Structure 1
Amino acid sequence: MLTALRRSLASRSWLVDLPLIALAWWAAFWLRFNLGLPHPYFEHAVQTTPIALLCMTLGLALARVPRQSWRYVSLSDLRQLAGGVALGAVLTTAVVMGLRIEGFPRSVFLISAPLVLVLLAGARAAWRTLVEQAHTRAQAQPGAAPPQPLLIVGTLEEADQALRTLKGVAGWRVAGVVSPRAQELGRTLQGVHVVGAPDELARIAAAHHVGTVLLASAPGAPLRREIMLRWAGAGLNLLTLPTADELLRPGAAPAPREVRLEDLLGRAPVQLDDAGLSALLRGQTVLVTGAGGSIGAELCRQVARFGPARLVCVDVSEYATYALEQDLRRSHPTLPAAYYTASVREPDRLRALMRAHRPGVVLHAAAYKHVPLMEAHNEIEALRTNVLGTLHAARAAGEAGAARFVLVSTDKAVNPTSVMGASKRLAEQVAQAVALEHPGTQVVSVRFGNVLGSSGSVVPLFRAQIEQGGPVTVTHPEIVRYFMTIPEAAQLVLQAGLMGRSGQIFVLDMGEPVKIADLARLLIRLSGKAEQDVPIAFTGLRPGEKLYEELLADDETTEPTPHPKLRVAKVPGAAADAAVVIAAWIDSLGAAPDAGAVREGLRRRVPEYRPLAEDS
């Protein structure tokens, strides 16, 4: 407290504040006596000015007002200033009244305090105005590019934050605000007019000669999604402000950026419990299977942020392992890490790795996930990798004494219609069974939807098709999917691993599903092309593919967790011998099993599995 007070008293802002406080004190006398100051009261003013200066200085210092930055003074700073002035006024009144000065005009106390507040607040506002004007003039120097006009789309609250951000970014001039609220039309915000509604965006942009639009709505807001789907590629350059996660990255700037595909998602991104995850991962050995894949690599990047004692990366692909190693060496040069080209289908190798490193946390992302590819000719591969691979990894983790094992599952495991989905549901059952075998290891599963931009997903395929001039192939005009970004998927896995109890299956509140056709149209527009240039062709549903995905089976319910975006699926627990029985069945299938026999076995072990061929 004393240190803070000394710093406040040492502030150079007193060079301005003290004369203004004295001026306010004398002005209060002049106003009290109608701009005249009779002789006895002149002596009162002279006698009490040092007291007023001292008491007001002390009040402002106790409120830490002198430590404010005048250049960035805000309403919060002005409220703090008002508190300091009120405290100083009380001290001044107490001291002067305690002196019992005969005939002292008490109304001076009531007049001086507002005057001090007005003068000090005015000085700060004037300084900020001068600084902003100097900044504007610097941008407009000869040879500098003129600022580009843009429209801000959002409510007044959203636009206010965007305007504050843009003040620190050169090169932009806000021509108007486009608000979805009819009652805000015609109002002004920081000198900028609300000029219309989003439905009139094209007309408004043309009238103001603007080609750039800044989406001020928060991630997940319906307005952002509506504007992207309607106006992307319609002659308007759509921008948005970076998210908090983006601003935390090295070298990030608050400047507007172009909208990206992940901005289409209909919900706010997952938020991490950083403190809890730091306690879980810092100083621990963390092993990630499937580390070279899209989700596995992001898991490694996320884990690296929390300072593990060692990160062990396991993937069957030599190139993917090499690429991950190079990436992590660049971004985390001091990270202790080990990289292995090993397969989860080899239990002895996994046991050896686990014994060598004794991981505290195991994140199991290794899997085959391409639905049509696993539906024909590769059914046994899906079972051996997705089911037996999970069994081997979970058992090896339990035998090595790992505290937590997290299985990366999928929404396709709910009421599966494909071999891949059924194999992931079996993997969940195997994980639950291993949880019973190794009670010292918390074994949990995490289901989420499709991941934007992951290997094998529609986005890389669509982009390649667009580059070739089309057509962009969509299986059905009404097909919808839940989507998340790669960082979201990885964060969800970590968050569930932190909170989960053994045997639990977590699901994410995925928001609204996205039509794949809308996704294709948006990608076409974001590439700078029109649908006339790159047509969309509908090819029909592929083997094992549904029109829509579910996050929970019909007979399942969920219960909340401390995390607002995570819920626990209440599913039947697996039998204690489930892992043994399932593994024996898969081994009995042999190297080239009959496809019908595989599906029949899946139906017996996954009752909710219904191949689409049977429904047609």
Structure 2
Amino acid sequence: MTYKQRLSLFIIIDSAIVLAAIFFSHLLVRGTIDTSPFFYLVSATAILLSHHLFSFKFKLYKKAWEYASIGELILIFKIASASILTAAIFHGVLLNEVFIRRLSVTWLLLVLFIGGSRFCWRIYRDLYLSRLSYSDRTLIIGAGSAGTMVARQLLKSNESDLQPVGFIDDDVKKHHLDIMGIPVFGGVGEIEEIVKQLKVTNIVIAIPSLSRKELNVIFQECIKTDAKTQILPMLEDLMTGKLSVNQFRDVQVEDLLGREPVVLNDDKISEDITNKVVLVTGAGGSIGSEICRQIAQFNPEKLVLLGHGENSIYSIEMELKESFRGSKIEFISVIAEIQDAKKMMSVMETFQPDVVYHAAAHKHVPLMERNPEEAVKNNMIGTLNVANAASWHGVKTFVMISSDKAVNPTSVMGATKRLAEMIVHHMDESSNTKFVAVRFGNVLGSRGSVIPLFKKQIEKGGPVTVTHPDMVRYFMTIPEASRLVIQAGALAHGGEIFVLDMGEPVKIVDLAKNLIKLSGYSVEEIGIEYTGTRPGEKLYEELLKDDEVGEHQVHPKIYVGKTSELYISEIEEIIGTFLSMEKEELRDRLIALANNKFANSQVMSISV
């Protein structure tokens, strides 16, 4: 219905209500309808004209009555009072008498009829019309302010197919109560039973203050049902208007596996980054690009984005320029190979960075098993080139991205990352630059990680392939890993390896099952197929060996480990001769060397 059609309809309805109010008021007061036609003409003209005039003035006809409340009722009182007062003036001037009793009754009937007509429409719409569009019976987890807000929006909205039929809340004081006509049934432990009882098809988790651990507990109860589970948008998105309260998002694997956010020492980071020149290698990759996003929040003078893939570098450059359009940060893109030593020297000389974050690397385990020489070129020689250039040109801090696969490595990728750590430590001993490494586990959603692979397999109808039923991994989110890298640069004294305490490892098969359920399928529909471990893979990854962490505690969650001599000559020998070796020989030499030199390096652990 257009605005003009709606306005015409309201004018016709209100005109009929005014005439009826005048008629019935006379009937109630006099007990008869025998009255001078001139009286009706004066009363009808005065009240009709004044009612429509004041209705336009106070914008009564523009109100959305499906959202009507006390404010609209007060407005009706004002318009009715102004109309009756105008009619009283007309009576006094044209009839020489003010009929107070009849006008009072007319006022009362106007308020009753006009207000009643509007609120009857709202009740009819809420209780009948809106129900016609519902197709999904919805259970709301959380009967607090957020849950109540969700229920209210769903009841009012014509755009949503969700019909709230019940609340779940662990607060026993709310059990068996009704909120907006919707009962509160019980606690989280009763979700499965209540979903079956109410034939629920959708579950909405409406508790913004949930920690990831608490969310995981709730979700584990939800996946016991066949209902689709969604979650309320983040409070920041609601406050900024990016999303409305009824725009739910699907629960992501990151919500379940990610831990609480890493708390940064912003002041210390600002000292190292604000108004400084920062260079990031591998800036187009998953980790490198997120490091760039987080660094930009600290307002460096220049942010140099270095990578060999022109499309990915162009993409992150455009994103940063758009996101930080109002800032004075100069974003500079450099297409270069870290294996080119002269180019690295040239880049460092040109931009004179204060801090370097070295994220460029080959990190795909099976591919590096088949191409060990490429792992040496990129992970070892590339790191050496960037580190040498940084030291030569007086970079203050150099932070290298490492991996938990560098611990007791059984793969070429892990071995070359461990040997790259040794190179960085050796550089620290002979340079004024502070060289450190940051070691972390699998990153959720990064390129080549298991999550995108599982999602593609699910989209194709399965099966999801898992290498071994007992395989476990540590996980963290890309932002969390990137924050740790930035924090490492701020905490660095030189020569450390920073390792995040990543909590409990996760079984890959459990991750696959959760992802299948999150995608709206059952495990039986998609299926899980075990393919066997791949070359270089371990069933579990280690973060630290037992003898690495010392007792000296420099921070409630930071420990400094033992130190020993580094044997760099063997690394130099491999770099000088690797092209002449067979792949199998090179692989064996790399893994043996990495394991022999691992045990006694200096380690600092961050437990968050």
Cα–Cα, structure 1 residues 569 and 178, in superposed 2: closer, same or farther, change >3 Å? farther
516-525 vs 355-364, which moves further: 516-525
Cα–Cα, structure 1 residues 498 and 251, in superposed 2: closer, same or farther, change >3 Å? farther
2:416–2:594: 8 Å Cα contact kept in structure 1? no
**Which of the residues 194, 197, 203 maps onto 1:204?**
194
Opposite residue 448 of structure 2, the aligned amino acid is: G
Per-residue deviation, residues 140-188 of structure 1 (Å, max 9, x unmatched): 599768898744446xxxx53644764896658865543568x668376
| RMSD between superposed Cα atoms in Å | 3.6
Cα–Cα, structure 1 residues 518 and 272, in superposed 2: closer, same or farther, change >3 Å? same
Per-residue deviation, residues 483-509 of structure 1 (Å, max 9, x unmatched): 111111111111221222211111112
CA shift at 1:300, angstroms? 1.1
394-403 vs 326-335, which moves further: 326-335
Q: What residue is the counterpart of 2:341 in the other structure?
A: 347
Task: Give yes or no for the alignment of 1:590 onto 2:579.
Answer: yes
1:362–1:397: 8 Å Cα contact kept in structure 2? yes
**Which of the residues 332, 336, 345 maps onto 2:330?**
336
2:404–2:543: 8 Å Cα contact kept in structure 1? yes
Cα–Cα, structure 1 residues 538 and 605, in superposed 2: closer, same or farther, change >3 Å? closer
Cα–Cα, structure 1 residues 180 and 550, in superposed 2: closer, same or farther, change >3 Å? farther
Q: What residue is the counterpart of 2:313 in the other structure?
A: 321
**Which of the residues 434, 439, 446 maps onto 1:442?**
434
Opposite residue 144 of structure 2, the aligned amino acid is: D
Aligned residues: 467
Opposite residue 421 of structure 1, the aligned amino acid is: G
Task: Give yes or no for the alignment of 1:271 onto 2:260.
Answer: no
Tell me how far apart the structure 1 counterparts of residues 359 and 584 of structure 2 sit (CA, whole Å): 26
Tell me how far apart the structure 2 counterparts of residues 524 and 588 of structure 1 sit (CA, whole Å): 47
Tell me how far apart the structure 1 counterparts of residues 144 and 388 of structure 2 sit (CA, whole Å): 54
Per-residue deviation, residues 466-486 of structure 1 (Å, max 9, x unmatched): 122221110011211111111
Tell me how far apart the structure 2 counterparts of residues 210 and 495 of structure 1 sit (CA, whole Å): 45
Task: Give yes or no for the alignment of 1:498 onto 2:482.
Answer: no
**Which of the residues 405, 410, 424 maps onto 2:398?**
405
Per-residue deviation, residues 398-420 of structure 1 (Å, max 9, x unmatched): 22222211111111111212111
Tell me how far apart the structure 1 counterparts of residues 378 and 482 of structure 2 sit (CA, whole Å): 20
2:372–2:586: 8 Å Cα contact kept in structure 1? no
Output the TM-score relative to the length of structure 1. Answer: 0.67
Opposite residue 511 of structure 1, the aligned amino acid is: G
Tell me how far apart the structure 2 counterparts of residues 560 and 236 of structure 1 sit (CA, whole Å): 51
CA shift at 1:350, angstroms? 0.8
Task: Give yes or no for the alignment of 1:160 onto 2:127.
Answer: no
Tell me how far apart the structure 1 counterparts of residues 516 and 421 of structure 2 sit (CA, whole Å): 37
Task: Give yes or no for the alignment of 1:394 onto 2:387.
Answer: yes
Q: What residue is the counterpart of 1:295 in the other structure?
A: 287
Q: Secondary structure at the match of 1:533?
A: helix
Cα–Cα, structure 1 residues 379 and 261, in superposed 2: closer, same or farther, change >3 Å? same
1:310–1:338: 8 Å Cα contact kept in structure 2? yes
Question: Which residues of 2 match residues 177-576 of structure 1 at below 5 A?
Answer: 177-179=167-169, 186=175, 194-208=184-198, 210-215=200-205, 216=207, 220-232=211-223, 234-243=225-234, 251=242, 256-265=248-257, 267-333=259-325, 335-376=329-370, 378-439=371-432, 441-557=433-549, 567-568=558-559, 570-575=561-566
Tell me how far apart the structure 2 counterparts of residues 246 and 424 of structure 1 sit (CA, whole Å): 39
1:229–1:518: 8 Å Cα contact kept in structure 2? no
242-251 vs 276-285, which moves further: 242-251
Per-residue deviation, residues 548-584 of structure 1 (Å, max 9, x unmatched): 11111232126798887x6446253553xx4565234
Alignment gaps of 5+ in structure 2? 1-118, 600-608
Opposite residue 431 of structure 1, the aligned amino acid is: V
Per-residue deviation, residues 499-550 of structure 1 (Å, max 9, x unmatched): 2221111111212222111211222222222223211100111111111111
Output the TM-score relative to the length of structure 2. Answer: 0.68
1:153–1:177: 8 Å Cα contact kept in structure 2? yes
1:505–1:569: 8 Å Cα contact kept in structure 2? no
Q: Percent identity?
A: 40
Tell me how far apart the structure 2 counterparts of residues 302 and 185 of structure 1 sit (CA, whole Å): 42
Opposite residue 301 of structure 1, the aligned amino acid is: R
1:266–1:511: 8 Å Cα contact kept in structure 2? no
Opposite residue 160 of structure 1, the aligned amino acid is: G
Tell me how far apart the structure 2 counterparts of residues 329 and 189 of structure 1 sit (CA, whole Å): 51
1:411–1:449: 8 Å Cα contact kept in structure 2? yes
Per-residue deviation, residues 371-421 of structure 1 (Å, max 9, x unmatched): 111123x11221221122222212222222222111111111112121111
276-285 vs 226-235, which moves further: 226-235
